Amino acid sequence: MNIFERLSQLDRRIIFLLVAIAVIVPMIVPLNLPVDITKPVKNVYDKIESLPEGSVVLVSTDYDPGSEAELYPATEAFIEHCFRRNLKIYMMGLWPAGSELGNIALNKIAKYYNKKYGEDFINVGYRPGGAVMLLSLGRNFSDVIKVDYQGIPVDSLPLGRRVKSARDLSMVMTFSAGDPGIIHWIIYFHARYGVPVCGATTAIMAPQQYPYLSSGQLVGLLGGLKGAAEYETLVERRGRGLRGMDSQSIVHLLLVGFIGLGNVILLYQRRKK
């Protein structure tokens, strides 16, 4: 029995094991594979770089654990960039679980940069109501938000007193996995009040946002895990986005190799017959 015949009888569990190794090893030992920076991601980075220190950025975490693998790395990288630039973060969420995921990232990064709650950042938690809520929020924040996620009156916090309407924001950054999400921020904050909007979406949603990028209604976009890895590269952060792209790249190469090998075996078997 030659090598081709042996490979044709290879136990599929060996293939599954190789794929598992290809996924796990780069997550533990980063390979630091290069990542090309696309224009939509660079636009988000440039927008943050252009804001004066002390500007207020509204961060909306509009996703849940099902999209956490793609959007949480981007959340951490973006928050870190804002704190490096000494920007203020006003966080909220249109999805119930998103607010807590964002809070984990916010507290983690804030602790590293010695940022103070109420002055440098605030989280007002989940806000139901979708489009109707955003319409009222943009006009007057106090109509919708009375307390933060801990139940502390927002007016008792310096950053809470500073933000009265959409016009007090320098930009909105939404991490969006569906509805309500990025489209609502474009309609009710950019179109109505002229607030610049950037976004991060799952990879499957990213192509739907290109018309808004082309028209200027969306300043920049982080698309899926690739977008998170690009942003981590720009802010020089070796996070989960880059490690995830290492795993993804190795698995893709492995699968292409298996497909090529399978075709070679098939041609050999046909020729033998």
Looking at the chain, which runs of residues are DSSP E strands? 56-62, 88-93, 121-126, 171-176, 197-201, 221-223
Query: Does the residue 86 lie in any domain?
Result: yes
Q: Determine the pLDDT at residue 198.
A: 96
Q: Is residue 131 part of a domain?
A: yes
Q: So what's the pLDDT on residue 154?
A: 93
Average pLDDT value for residue range 164-192: 92
The answer to the question of residue 34 being in a domain is: no
Q: Per the domain annotation, does 191 fall within a domain?
A: yes
In tens, the pLDDT along 182-227 reads: 999 999 899 888 999 999 999 999 999 999 999 999 999 999 999 9
**Contact present, 93 and 128 (Cβ < 8 Å):** no
Task: Report percent pLDDT > 90 for the chain.
Answer: 59
Does one domain contain both 135 and 210? yes
Residues 138 and 255 in one domain: no
Q: Is the pLDDT reported for residue 18 higher than 90? A: no
DSSP 208: G
Assess whether 180 and 105 both reside in one domain. yes
Q: How confident is the model at residue 239 (pLDDT cuts 50, 70, 90)?
A: confident
For 249-253, what is the mean pLDDT? 86
Q: How far apart are CA 271 and CA 273, in angstroms?
A: 5
Does residue 242 lie within any of the structural domains? no
d(CA 179, CA 45): 25
Do 95 and 11 lie in one domain? The reply is no
- Give the pLDDT confidence score for residue 113 in this predicted structure: 93
Amino acid at 22: A
Any domain includes 115: yes
Number of domains in the chain: 2
Q: Is 72's pLDDT higher than 70?
A: yes
Per-residue pLDDT at 170: 94
Q: What does the pLDDT average to over 32-57?
A: 93
- Identify the DSSP state of 149: T
- Given a cut of 90, whether residue 169 has pLDDT beyond it is yes
- Measured CA to CA in angstroms, residue 191 lies from 135, 147, 215, 239 at distances of 11, 27, 12, 34
- Look at 3-12, 49-58, 139-148, 243-252 and tell me which has the smallest mean pLDDT: 3-12
49 and 141 housed in the same domain: yes
Q: 177 and 255 share a domain?
A: no
Q: Establish if 243 belongs to a structural domain.
A: no
Residues 198, 80, single domain; the answer is: yes
Tell me, yes or no, whether 124 and 214 share the same domain.
yes
CB contact at 8 A, 58 and 172: yes
**Is residue 8 domain-shared with residue 80, that is, in the same domain?**
no
Please report the pLDDT score of residue 205 as a whole number: 93
List CB contacts of 80: < 8 A, sequence separation 6 or more.
Answer: 109, 112, 113, 235, 237
- By the 8 A CB rule, do 185 and 60 touch? yes
The pLDDT of 236-254, averaged and rounded, is: 83
Name the CA radius of gyration of the chain, rounded. Answer: 22
Range of the domain at 122: 39-237
d(CA 75, CA 89): 12
Which two tokens mark 2? 């030659």
268 shares a domain with 186: no
- At 178 the pLDDT is 87
Question: In terms of Cα–Cα distance, which of 54, 70, 50, 51 is closest to 62?
Answer: 70
Enter the DSSP assignment of 115.
Answer: P
Q: pLDDT category, 247, cuts 50, 70, 90? A: confident
Residue 183 is part of a domain; what is its CATH number? 3.40.50.10160
Instruction: Kindly list the distances between the CA atom of residue 55 and the CA atoms of 167, 168, 236, in Å, as whole numbers in the listed order.
Output: 12, 9, 22
* Residue of 193, 145, 144, 187 whose CA lies nearest to 168: 193
125 within some domain: yes
CB neighbours of residue 74 within 10 Å: 30
Q: Are residues 90 and 207 in the same domain?
A: yes
Q: Are 196 and 50 in contact (CB under 8 A)?
A: no
Sheet holding 56-62: strands in order across? 121-126, 88-93, 56-62, 171-176, 197-201, 221-223
pLDDT tens profile 81-139: 999 999 999 999 999 988 889 999 999 999 999 999 999 999 999 998 888 888 889 88
Give the model's confidence band at 1: pLDDT under 50 very low, under 70 low, under 90 confident, else very high.
low
Looking at the fold, whether 138 and 25 belong to one and the same domain comes out as: no
